[in-house]
Structure 1
Amino acid sequence: MDSNITLKDIKKSNYSAIFQLIYQNGKASKQDIASKLQLSLPTITQNLVRLEKEQLIKKSGQFQSSVGRRATAYAINENARVSLGIAIQKNIVNLLAINLLGDVICKKEIPLAFSTKDKYFQSLSIEVEAFVKEAHIMPEQVLGIGLAVQALTSSDGKTITYGKILDCTGLKIEAISQYLRYPCKFMHDAKCAATTELWMREEIGDAVYLSIGTHLGGAIIINNQIEMGEEGHSGTMEHMTLHSNGPACYCGKNGCMETYCSVSALLNENETIEAFFNGLHEGKNENEQRWNLFLDHLAYSINNIKLVINRKFILGGHLSSYLTDADLDILHKKVADRSAFPSKHPFIQISRSPKQGVPKGAALPFIRDFIQSV
């Protein structure tokens, strides 16, 4: 045994191990814990009493048994702590709260035109406090607030480093945190969506995540972690040039993937995505032509990216809920037709994350950090 390990370290280790085991298994009895952790029943009882007192676990019925007394089941008190996620867009803010299991316990959409002025952040803070109260969440339960923005952020989440969509480059987290009692951090919205995907799938491994919404976003996942790169903009495939003389992009360049493979690029002015797909399913020729061209551009882009990182692709964002298996078959064929190295197996998947994947992904890091800290 390491001579530097103290009795306090051992007690902390036992406490943490018991909590983690219950968390990972959903429920556990004293006997389960003793068998899996090789701890004595008095040690287990002492830690269970402490975890219950701190309201991190709760008794949750009994396990079935054909002989003897039925063992008490212990489970996580999932609402002991919560985290808030806020997705900030030009004219709308989506708020949600998740518990320790990552389940959404409350959500709300409010109209609020974005501005970098104090008045906007004051209004947002009032909405947040009202949301917490409406959800019957006590302030001490809140671990923190993740603010998902259509922008790149510093690694510590304190500064927006590139925010042309919202015209907010250089914005500091203090703009909002000064009005709230909770820890706050900015997060890139596409990375938030990828974070939710990682939470919902046990083992992604390596993947390219494309968030296809009003705007396009992306993330590179390596060993179940989002790769940010040296300067924090790895995965920003939306600004990969497809045609140097193509349509103007909000970044100031021309012909970016954003201008061909985002929902904005697919839709006509004032057209909704629902109206487009309704027309597509009704067999409207113009919609079919637009969809075919959109898939051509997407296939062209996927093929280029796949030549650099030969991994599976996950398609998320608003568009993903409209994609069908037939669309994936067409997309696979289009990629294969363009590739020097056609894949022998399907490699494009539809996201499993819900429509609220962005704000949920903004909230999840606070939950993950808390679980790991116990």
Structure 2
Amino acid sequence: MNEKSITTITLKKINKKSVYQYIYEHRQTAKQQIVQDLTMGLSTVSQNLNVLEKEGLISRDGFFESTGGRKAQVIQIVPEYRIAVGVGILKNMFHLAAVNLYGEAIAEETVAVPFAQSDAYYDGIASSLESFLDRNGYDREKILGVSIATQGIPAPDGESVLYGEILHNTDMKLADFSTRIPYPCRLEHDSKAAASLELWNHPEIESAVVFLLNRNLGGAVITNHKVHQGLSMHSGTLEHICIDPEGPECYCGQKGCLETYCSANALEAAAQMPVKEFFPALRAGNDARLTEIWDAYLSHLAYAMKTANLLLDGAVIVSGYLAPYFKEEDCRTLLEKVDAASPFPLVREQLLVGTHGQYTPAIGAALLFIEEFLQSEF
């Protein structure tokens, strides 16, 4: 093959991807708009649209309102052309989430099975995954891959867990899943996966600290538009910031870690009731004890936010299981508590609250396969 042929093939690939990316970014568009904005010839655009439609990547459905001439046909990508699945593993359950090419969760499910580092447990996840795909009618050839978000720090090569004190899953291997699941698999830290989702939802963010308010607390750091991993993969483990050296013992063996004050488990232990009961009772405003518990919770969280914001001058993101329970009044209280203890105020625009709740790590982990697809040549 000569150099001219190689150049022609490369140019065709570039044009195809450019047209697809334009449609993807604009959600809905028209042929003439693509021609105009990409400064690409009409015949080139038409050819690429035909190829993309034939391959199932885009669809042409309906028409835009007329502006005086012939109605323009609506062109959009097919969001479910490919999907990815995330599995979020917790101590007493695991979450399943299917994500389309726009990063939207199109199916979610919780399976109440206690974690166990055993063949039966891993077989059960593989079986539950296939049942989940069947119930939602997903063609297997559409599956880009399955990401496992775990409460444990994976090795740099992603092949095993280096530190897993919560689940006692140190040395859990990617192969425990990949030998049973017939799709590409990857192993991810749940907090880093959550940060990936928040970055996806807020692509304008350059730097941020993420507080994952799950059953067990987690954290992550975003720098230069990327989730920071660190030399030994434990960057952002905010849960082990010491709040009180004489405080409760943490699962890590130390005392007074933020985990013991601001995890969902810690909140439930203080309130002596499940989270789903705590917040309605709190909002009713009839129990001073619950108000005190919540105020103490926010005080400890604000202390950690202040510390994190002094180290990294950027956004602060509240994410995970407890995030959907946060109201505007809670955000104002957090800001007041941070500002009272810091020489540098944290403004409202810097405090963001996630919306995906307990499924955040599973969705964020799945997004890694979506990102790879969007960067590929299809």
Fold agreement, TM-score > 0.5: yes
The offset of 1:347, in angstroms, is 5.7
Work out the percentage of aligned pairs sharing the same amino acid.
Answer: 35
State which of 264, 272, 275 in structure 2 corresponds to 1:273.
275
Distance 1:76 1:206 in 2: 31
The offset of 1:344, in angstroms, is 6.7
| Bigger shift: residues 346-355 or 53-62 | 346-355
Matched letter for residue 321 of structure 1: P
Contact kept, 8 Å, 1:197 with 1:351, in 2: the verdict is no
SS across alignment from 2:205: coil
Matched letter for residue 349 of structure 1: L
Contact kept, 8 Å, 1:332 with 1:348, in 2: the verdict is no
SS across alignment from 2:370: helix
| Bigger shift: residues 267-276 or 145-154 | 267-276
Matched letter for residue 107 of structure 2: C
Distance 2:350 2:29 in 1: 38
SS across alignment from 2:322: helix
Give structure 2 stretches of 5+ with no counterpart.
none
Matched letter for residue 140 of structure 1: E
Residue matched to 2:195: 194
The offset of 1:104, in angstroms, is 2.2
Residue matched to 1:238: 239
Root-mean-square deviation over aligned CA pairs = 2.0
SS across alignment from 1:172: coil
Residue matched to 2:353: 351
Residue matched to 1:50: 51
Distance 2:157 2:63 in 1: 44
Residue matched to 1:328: 331
**1:6-52 Cα distance to aligned partner (Å, 9 max, x none):** 21111110111011011111122221121122222222222111111
Q: Any residues of structure 2 matched to 1:278-357 within 5 Å, and which?
A: 278-281=280-283, 282-339=285-342, 341-343=343-345, 345-346=347-348, 349-355=351-357, 356-357=359-360
The offset of 1:220, in angstroms, is 0.9
The offset of 1:182, in angstroms, is 0.2
**1:299-339 Cα distance to aligned partner (Å, 9 max, x none):** 22222222211222111122222222222222222222222
Residue matched to 1:160: 161
Distance 1:196 1:345 in 2: 22
Q: Report the CA distance shift for 1:243/1:3 in structure 2 as closer, same or farther (over 3 A).
A: farther
Matched letter for residue 87 of structure 1: G
Distance 1:287 1:60 in 2: 53
TM-score under structure 1 normalisation? 0.93
SS across alignment from 1:210: strand
The offset of 1:206, in angstroms, is 1.5
Distance 2:346 2:282 in 1: 30
Contact kept, 8 Å, 2:213 with 2:318, in 1: the verdict is yes
Distance 2:337 2:250 in 1: 25
Q: Any residues of structure 2 matched to 1:220-239 within 5 Å, and which?
A: 220-239=221-240
SS across alignment from 1:343: coil
Give structure 1 stretches of 5+ with no counterpart.
none
In the alignment of these two chains, the number of paired residues is 372
Residue matched to 1:41: 42
Distance 1:101 1:58 in 2: 15
The offset of 1:258, in angstroms, is 0.9
| Bigger shift: residues 286-295 or 91-100 | 286-295
Residue matched to 1:371: 374
SS across alignment from 1:28: coil
The offset of 1:66, in angstroms, is 3.1
Matched letter for residue 228 of structure 1: Q
SS across alignment from 1:97: strand
Contact kept, 8 Å, 2:335 with 2:346, in 1: the verdict is no
Residue matched to 1:119: 120
